[in-house]
Structure 1
């Protein structure tokens, strides 16, 4: 069956790609929620369209990239629902309204939120947000992907202690300062041996993130 084939593809992912798979879903959730809050206040017109560019691993489509279409996008859509906007005059969602949708009944993954799943559902069309403009692109030809790669590489080296502070301390200016920590560090149930290696560095991780937070000057609210 198709479900079995998808499961087989997931099972065949390397450990690093499997972690990336689940982290990506969380990242998409956070990205859409934070970006809509931020731009509804600062630049509402930016919410008119979402352009997604994903760094292609090879010239031909890989199994992981197929999973983007088959699993990551649908799972991200489900994870984002229900979605709430802020009812305040400071927040302008007028450009975002084009993503509104009305369905005859509640989606199956939201039926637990209502006593009558057959009633009309009004919400956001996240499938449209995610798939209207989505492309796997070669970073060699995409300046945006190159810039993201530079920032991600600098942050990774900072966390690993392989980059002098002068090389990463101003990265915070690129972050949006939010009530919670600007960078979330997931720990995926490490065993005792792995945890013993990670734990001594947690204080340093906190130092790096704290430094970035103090530099962040674009507030979410």
Structure 2
């Protein structure tokens, strides 16, 4: 099967598969509109008198563009933000134990909608990405693993908390660093591509297998092997996204299928680690 061939190729190359999903049957048009309004207000939530008028005008322009997108594009953006947050958290902890050099560079390639040019939505989404991720990280900051090898990742860690975050970041022990420079992490190499790139094609295969499995259009042999590419956790491996008010919970109509993603994943922690000595200066 094409799906299993894709899983095999990704496993051979040491890939880890992260996934987020949304069940729109749990949501009304009003739910999405209210979530969009809350997110729009959040764009300007941390502006202070110290910010320039130019920045204020830029934020207002982003808010105006946000209001014009279809519900489909807005939902897609919200789910993708959730996915990238989980990717960021999982990959740092996973690779600091196994392949720490992989944390020295991040190359983000996004499947483009238009082969001719970046769309208005893609441009807006790429410009607000770090804002959403920063807000999520402030509420739920990622943990630095004791004993993890962060030598190559160190250049993405703030020595001091930036001034624009000092009034909004919660108190925390920052002896190991003041947080992650998301602008650098996502800004150094970020592009949209409509070309048939091998990485994007493999992601398309496994993502479609998961989607078809969740809606019942693909038998278990086609999507259960995906678990072997995912990180094991106490909850289900696929992150369910809800755009609901705080007083409402997801109905989880897909829970029987989602529960299949509680076993068979990769264990995050390694039993024991022995780091090699620092590389000689001449080899760096």
- Does TM-score exceed 0.5, indicating one fold? yes
Counterpart of 1:2 (choices 51, 58, 62) is 58
User: 2:124 — aligned with what?
Assistant: 67
TM-score, length-normalised on structure 1? 0.81
User: Is contact 1:157–1:163 with CA below 8 Å preserved after alignment?
Assistant: yes
User: 2:204 — aligned with what?
Assistant: 149
2:225 and 2:170 map into 1 onto residues whose CA distance is: 46
Q: Which secondary structure state, in structure 2, belongs to the residue aligned with residue 215 of structure 1?
A: coil
Give CA deviations for 1:81-104 in whole Å, capped at 9, x if unaligned.
4544122x2x2111111212334x
Is 1:213–2:272 an aligned residue pair? no
User: 1:118 — aligned with what?
Assistant: none
Q: Kindly tell me: are residues 110 and 219 of structure 1, through their superposed partners in 2, closer, same or farther at Cα, counting changes over 3 Å?
A: farther
Q: Which secondary structure state, in structure 1, belongs to the residue aligned with residue 97 of structure 2?
A: helix
1:79 and 1:212 map into 2 onto residues whose CA distance is: 24
Structure having the higher strand fraction is 1
Q: Which secondary structure state, in structure 2, belongs to the residue aligned with residue 98 of structure 1?
A: helix
User: Is contact 2:108–2:189 with CA below 8 Å preserved after alignment?
Assistant: yes
User: 1:37 — aligned with what?
Assistant: 93
User: 1:12 — aligned with what?
Assistant: 68
Is 1:24–2:80 an aligned residue pair? yes
Shift of 1:20: 1.5
User: 1:86 — aligned with what?
Assistant: 145
* Alignment of structure 1 residues 158-169 onto 2, 5 Å: 158-169=213-224
User: Is contact 1:100–1:123 with CA below 8 Å preserved after alignment?
Assistant: yes
Question: Number of paired residues?
Answer: 202
User: Is contact 1:154–1:163 with CA below 8 Å preserved after alignment?
Assistant: yes
Which has the bigger relative contact order, CA under 8 A and spacing at least 6? 2
1:174 and 1:10 map into 2 onto residues whose CA distance is: 34
| 68-77 vs 153-162, which moves further | 68-77
* Alignment of structure 1 residues 74-153 onto 2, 5 Å: 74-81=131-138, 82-87=141-146, 89=147, 91-103=148-160, 106-113=162-169, 122-138=178-194, 140-153=195-208
Shift of 1:36: 0.6
Is 1:182–2:271 an aligned residue pair? no
Shift of 1:47: 0.9
User: 2:113 — aligned with what?
Assistant: 57
Give structure 2 stretches of 5+ with no counterpart: 1-56, 172-176, 270-284
